[in-house]
Amino acid sequence: MVPQAMRAVTPDSSIHPDEAGRGRIVLHRVTKYFGDAKSEKAVVEDCSFTIEPGKLNVIIGPSGCGKSTLLNLIAGFDRVDAGTITCNGKEVSGPGADRLLVFQESALFDWMTTYDNIAFGPRARGDKPGPLKSKAQKVLERVGLGSFRDKYPPQLSGGMQRRIELARAIINDPAVMLLDEPFRGLDAMTKGLMQEYFLQLYAENPRTAVFVTTDIDEAILLADRLIILSNSPASLRRCIEVDIPKPRTASTLFELDVANDLKREALEILYQEALKSFRNHKKADSDFVQAYSRQTRDTNID
């Protein structure tokens, strides 16, 4: 029996591409190929789902399934080969100020101070220096870096650099924030602190967000809505509304039966998809299958 906190949404092939709404993104039968004519391969295929406005939508799927490709398509850094993507009812044909992507790897300028990194976007837009200085300082204080405004990225820890990335996104005030595994590579303690810090920032200024991760615990901790993708080529397997009350913390969330049930449900889908790659001898998914098997064995022991 599926708990109430796991209301599954069946993939809808009838989604119309012109649905509108503040921060609403609609993918309608999206397909993307890579390679030349002789070795062309679908990375995303016939993929349809809606990014709900004002929610923290978390995308998760097997390693290499096409999650980052989907984010690049939504951001407009790449173009679909078939289907459509719309943002607020307008077809995405390139990058726009309404969508901002925080990359996996740091995109900070090492030769710029913390303040200059954060102010770079508004300056390029032509914002006036006076109001910008005040706004940037407020954002710096908000992410706990007020006393580090004159430091350079190499002088800061990985967690601090990630906070600068978030601050740089916040100051540009996009309708949709896209985050591609932003805490990847951080140590476990720093990652946990950044997750809770991000939830706090998001609660203060909620907006449409699309957060990509390969970490199921991170996905359940953050998500208002969980979007589970298939094995490559990526398509929608299931959307699940995560009706777990906020604020959430990692230390308390997984004491809840509904969170553990949701984790098992999501892992079962991911396991089925990873097996498809495992049969093709992909090491990343082989590692996932082994990790899943260990987790299932440990759960049964408990």
Count other Cβ atoms within 10 Å, centred on residue 225. Answer: 20
| Of 57, 26, 53, 39, residue with least CA distance to 228 | 57
Q: Pairing between strand 41-51 and 176-180? A: unpaired
Task: Report the pLDDT value the prediction gives residue 69, as an integer from 0 to 100.
Answer: 93
Ramachandran sector of residue 185 (left: φ over 0; alpha: ψ -120 to 50; beta: rest): left
pLDDT of residue 239: 93
pLDDT of residue 289: 57
pLDDT along the chain (302 residues), means of 10: 38 37 85 82 93 92 88 93 92 89 83 90 80 84 86 89 85 88 84 85 87 92 94 92 87 83 90 74 55 55 46
pLDDT of residue 236: 95
**For residues 182 and 190, is the Cβ–Cβ distance under 8 A?**
no
| pLDDT at residue 297, as a whole number | 53
Question: What pLDDT score was predicted for residue 285?
Answer: 52
Strand partners, 102: 179
Q: Which residues of 86-111 are buried (b: 16+ CB within 10 A; e: fewer)?
A: bbbeeebeeebebbbbbbeebebeee
Residue pair 55/209 in contact by the 8 Å Cβ criterion: yes
pLDDT recorded at residue 11: 41
pLDDT given at position 279: 64
What are the boundaries of each domain within the chain?
6-98+174-301, 108-173
* Domain made up of 6-98+174-301: CATH architecture: 3-Layer(aba) Sandwich (3.40)
